Amino acid sequence: MKSNPDHPTPTSRFAGRGHASAWPEARELGYDEGVRARTEHLLERVADVVPQAEWPLHAPLIDAINRLKVERNAVILAHNYMTPEIFHCVGDATGDSLKLAQLAAESDADIIVQAGVHFMAETAKILAPEKTVLVPDLRAGCSLAASITGADVRRIRQAYPAYPIVTYVNTSAEVKAESDICCTSSNAVQVVEAVAGQWGTDTAILIPDEYLAKNVASQTAVRILTWKGACEVHERFTAEEIAQLRSEHPDAMIITHPECPPDVLKAADFAGSTGAMAAFVRDQAPKTAILITECSMSDNVAVENPGTRFIRPCNLCPHMKTISLAGIYESLRRLQFEVNVDPDVARRARSSVQAMLDLPGSEKPPAFDTRRPITAADYVAV
């Protein structure tokens, strides 16, 4: 994994492990001249999205985390939906959940702190079983991952034995373990078409996000069956909201995520995964952009694209927002909230993830063609 040049590179194996008392509690950290000097370059990076008045609160934690990482030989994986002071100031690897898990497996670090939700930490553990994986807050769940269980998938397989089961990576290890192959929002169309061809069928089951499934159905000739699950952030956006935004900001590019309802994608200028959304802004450099996704995504993309003005009609993810600098620091300091996966579950889940990784990759994150007609995706009957 490529190190972030703004952060020290971990060098020692579990140095200081078990010596939390050598570091003060988060509430005892203070802002002084040393902290100011060591974090000044990071403030410059995020000055447009983090209020300067808040910096004396963030900087002591940022400084302590970046120093403690070296002592613990740890890396922090920061998801795109983390707040900018986490994403840009302590994250060693940034991106979507699968990219972070792949980078975790490639890292030389002994400890991984997942600045994201629990299923992401599980995926990191699946792909890097020899590493210690920590999640900073046990409340960091996911409405979509919670919508389905391994038992549900077994019932689906019993009812539809002739059809392959494609599972979105935004699921628990148990659900991945019961599936044939995983997918991301970026490669879902490719995965569905590939596995349907391998099985010699015209139908695939894509679970658990009903909106991703419906949006995939509009992009392929493969018949899609799905589950009634959704992301509580993206399902709340409506086509009426998009029309209102278009009226208020006629020159803005409206960029959305395929976890949104199909009529939202139909009303947008571009639709794709978080990586594709960020790449679109970078490559097209629109004067004004509206990202229809979680709030922090706009802040994080804005840091890298200062020439674009961002309108933020976003929805907060309450689960992502349980992750804080203080929580990351205490997780590192105490080595607390370790994530483990049953070895047999991990082995089977790894097989599903690996089946996806074995497919040919794409140099550029693909987009969803928003001009295509909306296509139905029926729910599985279980």
Residue ranges of the annotated binding site for [4Fe-4S] cluster are: 142, 231, 317
* Annotation: binding site for iminosuccinate: 79, 97, 168-170, 185, 257-259, 274
b (16+ CB within 10 A) / e for 67-80: ebbbbbbbbbbbbb
Helix, strand and coil content of the chain, in percent to the nearest 5, comes to: 45, 15, 40
Q: CA end-to-end span of the chain, whole Å?
A: 42
- Point out the annotated binding site: 79, 97, 142, 168-170, 185, 231, 257-259, 274, 317
Q: Provide the edge-to-edge strand list for the sheet that holds 253-256.
A: 309-311, 288-292, 253-256, 270-272, 367-368
For 247-307, give the DSSP string.
HH-TTPEEEE-TTS-HHHHHHSSEEE-HHHHHHHHHHH--SEEEEESBHHHHHHHHHH-TT
β-partners of residue 168 are 183
DSSP code of 361?
P
Q: What is the C-alpha radius of gyration for the chain, rounded to an integer number of angstroms?
A: 21
Residue type, 366: P
CB atoms within 10 A of CB 303: 16
Q: How many alpha carbons lie under 13 Å from residue 277 in its C-beta half-sphere? A: 30
Closest CA to 56 of 79, 75, 40: 40
Question: What are residue 107's DSSP bridge partners?
Answer: none
